Amino acid sequence: MIVKLDITSNEQIQASVNAALERFGRIDVLVNNAGYGLLGYFEEMSENLIRQQIETNVFGTMKLTRAVLPTMRKQGTGWIIVISSTSGIKAVEGGSVYSASKFALEGWTEGMSIDLKPFGIQCMLVEPGAFPTDFFNEKTSFTFSDVEIDDFKQKRKIMYNNFVSRDQRQPGDPAKLAKALMTAVNVSNPPLRLVSGRYAVESVDQYLKERRSEIESWREVSRSTDFD
């Protein structure tokens, strides 16, 4: 069964949930995969573009999840899977606002996993690296900044060309990611986070090592901020 769904539309969300319940009588899994990338430098993005990004990637995902949770709580079981990104762990040049949306999903899902565990509902964040899913296709899946500032002109052109040149050249295999996800949800102790792709694992591993090093370097200063 396929239904049309804009996750920013309350009406379409409720209609889709109703259709699923009418057809199947229950909802066991919600995969929150809808979203897109807003790329470019923060200063070159209008407030309208930023709001659209957050409205879709964050609030849209939250709205759809809110609509299925009553059914899952009644069932006493369910899976909420949220497609995040390595950009939800570490930011890269040109991805500040996109990362803001994915960082938000990371914190929300982690907290939700604690809140929903007593109801038998499990949550998982999938953190893919680069997969050929039209992400860098400006006609379908990503939006570039809409304001031009002279200081960014040269870097902007290089960045844009770099992004679009990656379209359909990403190393990740979507079919293998789906298989990995099925493996993860069917074990007795599933992960809260599933990093996906060799480059993703390596870059996240390096990032976490750098964070740990920074914490250690500043440990004494950090510890000195409590009352005596």
Mean pLDDT across the chain: 92
The answer as to whether 223 is a domain residue is: no
Q: Does some domain include residue 183?
A: yes
Catalytic residue among 98, 160, 199, 207: 98
The answer to whether residue 93 sits within a structural domain is yes
pLDDT at 186: 94
The pLDDT value given to residue 1: 83
Cα end-to-end span (Å), the chain: 63
Domain count, the chain: 1
| Helix or strand run (H / E) with residue 37 | strand 37-39
Question: For 82-101, how does the pLDDT look when each residue is reduced to its tens digit (9 = 90+)?
Answer: 999 999 999 999 999 999 99
C-alpha torsion sign, points 184, 189, 193, 196: negative
- Whether residue 77 lies inside any domain: the answer is yes
Give domain status of residue 136, yes or no.
yes
Q: Are 8 and 55 in contact (CB under 8 A)?
A: yes
Is residue 98 annotated as a catalytic residue, yes or no? Answer: yes
Q: Is the pLDDT of residue 140 over 80?
A: no
Residue 17 is assigned to a structural domain of this protein: no
Q: Does the pLDDT at position 226 exceed 90?
A: yes
In a domain, 164, yes or no: yes
Q: Which domain, by its residues, includes 138?
A: 26-198
Task: Tell me which residue has tokens 């296709």.
Answer: 137
Q: Is residue 210 part of a domain?
A: no
Stretch 161-185: mean pLDDT, rounded? 81
Percent of the chain residues topping a pLDDT of 90: 76
Contact 121, 69 (CB under 8 A): yes
- Under the banding of pLDDT at 50, 70 and 90, the label for residue 224 is very high
What CATH number is attached to the domain comprising 37? 3.40.50.720
Rounded to two decimals, the pTM is: 0.91
Tens of pLDDT, residues 32-45: 999 998 999 999 99
- For tokens 């319940």, the residue is 21
